[in-house]
Amino acid sequence: MEVINAVIAALVCLFIANNNVMSRLLVENCGISKDDPYVPNIFGGAKTNIQENPWMVLVWSSKPCGGSLIARQFVLTAAHCVSFEDLYVRLGDYETLDPMPYCLNNHCIPKFYNISVDMKIVHENYNGITLQNDIALLRMSEAVEYSDYVRPICLLVGEQMQSIPMFTVTGWGETEYGQFSRILLNATLYNMDISYCNIKFNKQADRSQICAGSHTSNTCKGDSGGPLSSKFHYGNRLLSFQYGLVSYGSERCAANVAGVYTNVSYHREWIFNKMVQFKPTGHTTFWLSKLVGQTCNITDIIRNIELMYNRIVYEN
C-alpha cells in the first residue's frame, strides 16, 4: 500500500505541475458569459441579456428563490429556501412569466427546462434565527448539458479569493413596483464592513457572511439564494466567480440599505465535501483540484489519499 500511495502522490504532483491554472477551478470552462449581439444595451437599466448569467437558476416551489449552477448536477442556494415540499430547478431561464421562447430580431433563446431535485443538502449548522450557515446544495435528478445558456459559475479550489470592493447580484425578485420581475435583473453592490450589518439587523454576523449594499439597488423577496459574484482575470480569461449568495436584508427592500449574504468562499470546504459525500452514481474519476495550491508534500498527499479516491472531476 505504501508503494501505491507513493505512486499516486507522484502522479498527483505531476498533474498539479501540468495543470497549474485550470485545476484550481472546480469546473473547467466555468464563469463564461457572452454579450448577446441580438439584445440592445439599456442605458441606466438593470436588465441582463440572455447569455450574461448562464449559471442563474430559479429554484421553484411555493416560495421561489434563486440559485447558481456550480456543476453538472449541483445547484447552490440558501438553506432558508429549502422546504419539505418537492423542489425543481429551472435552467436556461430568462423571462420567467412567458412560456414561449424569448425572441428578438429573429433570434430566440430556447425555452427553459425543469429538472427535479432528488436530494436537498442543508448545512448541518444552519440557524434559522441568526441565519448563519444559510447555505444548501441541491442535487438534480439528472446532469445538465452545458451551452451558452446553461453553464456553471466558477468556484476556486485551494486558493484564496481576491478581495474586491464591489459585487454583482442577480435575480427575479421583487422590484420597486412590488412585483416579481419577469426579466432577470442584476445590480451592483458594494462590499461593506460587517459591523454595519450587525448594527442594522441586531444580529452577530461574522466572517462566514458578507455585508453589501448600494445607494441605488437592493435585493428583495425572491432573490434569496441567488449568486453574489464578481469578474476577474484568471488564467488570461475574464471569468465570473461566486463570492456569496443572498441571505437576508431589510423587509422594505429599499435602496441605501445593506443586506447580508452567505460567504460562499468561507463555505467552500463544506460545499466540496458534500458534493463528494452525495456524488451521483456513475462518477468514478478522481477529483484532484483540492490539492492544488498546497505544497506537493508526499506526507500531506498520502494523508488525503482516501479523500482523493472519492473526489469527482466535473469536466466540461
Q: What is the per-residue burial (b if ≥16 Cβ within 10 Å, else e) of 185-221?
A: bbbebebbebeebbebbebebeebbbbbbbeebbbbb
Q: Are residues 217 and 305 in the same domain?
A: no
Residue range(s) defining the domain that contains residue 273: 31-280
Q: Which of 22-36, 228-242, 282-296 has the lowest mean pLDDT?
A: 282-296
Q: Are residues 16 and 93 in the same domain?
A: no
Q: Are residues 200 and 272 in the same domain?
A: yes
Is residue 44 domain-resident? yes
Give 315 or 143, the one with higher predicted confidence: 143
Provide the pLDDT for residue 180.
62
CATH code, domain with 69? 2.40.10.10
Give 36 or 178, the one with higher predicted confidence: 178
On whether the CB atoms of residues 149 and 49 are closer than 8 A, the answer is no
Give 219 or 308, the one with higher predicted confidence: 219
Give the closest residue to 90 by CA, choosing from 119, 117, 128. 117
76 — pLDDT class (breaks 50, 70, 90) = very high
Give 168 or 94, the one with higher predicted confidence: 168
45 — pLDDT class (breaks 50, 70, 90) = very low
Give 112 or 3, the one with higher predicted confidence: 112
- In the predicted model, is pLDDT for residue 139 greater than 90? yes
Provide the pLDDT for residue 184.
77
Active site residue 224: yes
- In the predicted model, is pLDDT for residue 44 greater than 50? no
Provide the pLDDT for residue 38.
37
- In the predicted model, is pLDDT for residue 2 greater than 50? no
C-alpha cell at 191: 462590499
pLDDT tens digits, 214-251: 877 667 766 889 999 999 888 889 999 999 999 998 77
Q: Are residues 10 and 147 in the same domain?
A: no
Q: Are residues 265 and 138 in the same domain?
A: yes
Q: Which pTM was predicted? A: 0.75
Catalytic residue (choose from 23, 68, 123, 134): 134
125 — pLDDT class (breaks 50, 70, 90) = very high
271 — pLDDT class (breaks 50, 70, 90) = very high
Is residue 159 domain-resident? yes
For residue 226, the 8-state DSSP code is -
Structurally, the chain folds into a number of domains equal to 2
294 — pLDDT class (breaks 50, 70, 90) = very low
Catalytic residue (choose from 224, 240, 247, 289): 224
Angstrom CA distances, 123 to 79, 90, 97, 133, 247, stand at: 7, 22, 31, 6, 14
Q: Are residues 306 and 253 in the same domain?
A: no
Residues 214 and 187: their CA atoms lie apart, in Å, by: 9
Catalytic residue (choose from 33, 80, 93, 229): 80
Give percent above pLDDT 90 in the chain: 32
Q: Are residues 10 and 76 in the same domain?
A: no
Active site residue 80: yes
- In the predicted model, is pLDDT for residue 256 greater than 70? yes
